[in-house]
């Protein structure tokens, strides 16, 4: 029996809709580059989002178990830190592997060689 991936090789089932949204993709990429986490304000600036947009996207990622949001205080000021969870990091790397396959398939279809994943700056761990 043929699996769906064999019969529909260009369906890219691993493109997770939670991750694939542009703002969330940017948030996860920012958090991947900062394993210890980022302050809400830093994440907001890096991704060019408003407070409301960032809060909503973080809530979606948190509900999906991809991101951990920690609220506390620094001195007398509220401080929110966001970081990838271990499973969030794994899911994001799996997602990137599917994106890599998509890029390779598209480059092959266009008659060009796709760059190796390492040249794109991604490393699998």
Which tokens in the block code for residue 85?
A: 């969870």
Q: How confident is the model at residue 12 (pLDDT cuts 50, 70, 90)?
A: confident
SS3 76: coil
Task: Kindly report, residue by residue over 74-95, the tens digit of the pLDDT.
Answer: 899 999 999 999 999 999 999 9
Could you give all domains of the chain from N- to C-terminal order, each with its CATH number? Answer: 22-107 (1.10.10.10)
pTM, to two decimals: 0.80
Task: Tell me what pLDDT residue 2 has.
Answer: 46
Mean pLDDT estimate for the chain: 88
Q: How confident is the model at residue 125 (pLDDT cuts 50, 70, 90)?
A: very low
Say if residues 98 and 72 touch (Cβ distance below 8 Å): no
Q: CA of 123: how far to CAs of 49, 68, 100, 106, in Å?
A: 27, 22, 12, 21
SS3 87: helix
């Amino acid at each position: 029996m043929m699996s769906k991936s064999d019969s529909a090789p260009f369906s890219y089932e691993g493109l997770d809709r939670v991750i694939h949204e542009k703002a969330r993709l940017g948030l996860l990429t920012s958090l991947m580059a900062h394993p210890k986490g980022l302050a809400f304000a830093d994440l907001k600036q890096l991704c060019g989002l408003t407070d409301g947009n960032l809060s909503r996207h973080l809530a979606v990622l948190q509900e999906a178990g991809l991101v951990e949001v920690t609220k506390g205080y620094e001195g007398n000021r509220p401080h929110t830190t966001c970081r990838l969870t271990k499973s969030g990091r794994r899911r994001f790397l799996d997602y990137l592997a599917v994106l890599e396959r998509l890029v390779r398939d598209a480059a092959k279809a266009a008659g060009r060689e796709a760059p190796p994943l390492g040249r794109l700056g991604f490393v699998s761990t």
